[in-house]
Amino acid sequence: MFGTKHYHTHYHFPSDNSAIRKLLKQIFMNQTELAATLTALTEQTKKSFGEINGKLAELDAAIAAQGNVAPEVQAALDELKSAVQLNDDLIADAPAEETPQV
């Protein structure tokens, strides 16, 4: 009454493997380009963090020079510092360079 149906899937690859080699070459090229892009973006991010931290230090010094600052200003500055630190924590610091021993 009810029959069982079987489905078979077959994959056929070219016997000379040229298509596979072509795909592998494309994958490796794409990974190289991706690695270069990621490295550039990481460097750009690190540079911007440096600039932000510099401006934050200038702002902190200017507020400190004012002397008696309103609590709202100090709270806003502390919140900004916290946000900058949170962003900085997202990127791992570069490992310390080893100094060669003489």
Q: Which tops the pLDDT comparison, 57 or 15?
A: 57
Q: Is 41 exposed, middle or buried (0-12, 13-18, 19+ CB in 10 A)?
A: exposed
C-alpha span between 80 and 74 (Å, rounded) = 10
Q: Are the CB atoms for 73 and 42 separated by under 8 Å?
A: no
For residue 14, pLDDT beyond 70: no
For residue 7, pLDDT beyond 80: no
Over range 47-74, report the average pLDDT.
88
C-alpha span between 60 and 76 (Å, rounded) = 11
> Encoding tokens for residue 93?
């610091």
Q: Which tops the pLDDT comparison, 1 or 31?
A: 31
For residue 8, pLDDT beyond 60: yes
- Percent of the chain clearing pLDDT 70 (strictly above): 77
Mean pLDDT over each residue of the chain, to the nearest integer: 80
What are the structural domain ranges in the chain?
18-89
